Structure 1
Amino acid sequence: MILRVISNFLSQCHRVSLKEFNTGRCWKKQLNIAKDARRVDVLCYRIYLSYRLVDVTARVLEKKSPCNFLVFGLGHDGLMWNALNHGGRTIFLEEEESWIQQMRRFPMME
């Protein structure tokens, strides 16, 4: 479910111009994705990061983007991290083959 929510967000952002994406309107969409991801994780007992940690990281990415962002470990929040670093390069390091195979379905993931 979380991947569907984030995929929907990504498809919406592709319809937005770069100038509009960098304004506050898309920032609100990004925060909503973080909130939705947290809600889904709580329902499925898959809590990785608190909303507060996601919010702080998202704000740093917004100020510094585009940037090179290294994430250790793939998870249900992978597409969210990729989306929050709009225009930048997000690389995931993962040793678990099953996670790597799941994320290969998304060509924007590295």
Structure 2
Amino acid sequence: MATWLLPSCDKTPINGDMDGMWQLMTIQYKDLSEKQPEQLYYCIQLHMVQLQGAAFCSGTFQHTGDSIQMVIRQQNIDAVSAYGMNDTIQKFYIEQLSSQKMVLKSSFARLSFRKF
């Protein structure tokens, strides 16, 4: 019996648990006020990030150790503010990362996500 192997077009996750679609559940701002956004998502794969929901934004990110820096191109601060960012270039500290939960913290806000 012959065995056939079919090539796949899917990319292997290079960012471990971080790769995938994440729903933004809570934004806790520096002043401790909180917001529960509705249907906002961060989609992370390879070196790309897409912000989907209030506006569609895309960019790149660099994951180094316990931090991630996102660069959202061709957008302004108003477009990314709904996503808990205060600039189009934002550095986050990774507080928690598992296959189901991610918490990112910047000097502006703490973002809590669930894997979608």
State TM-score, norm by structure 2. 0.25
State TM-score, norm by structure 1. 0.25
Which one has a larger percent helix, Structure 1 or Structure 2?
A: 1
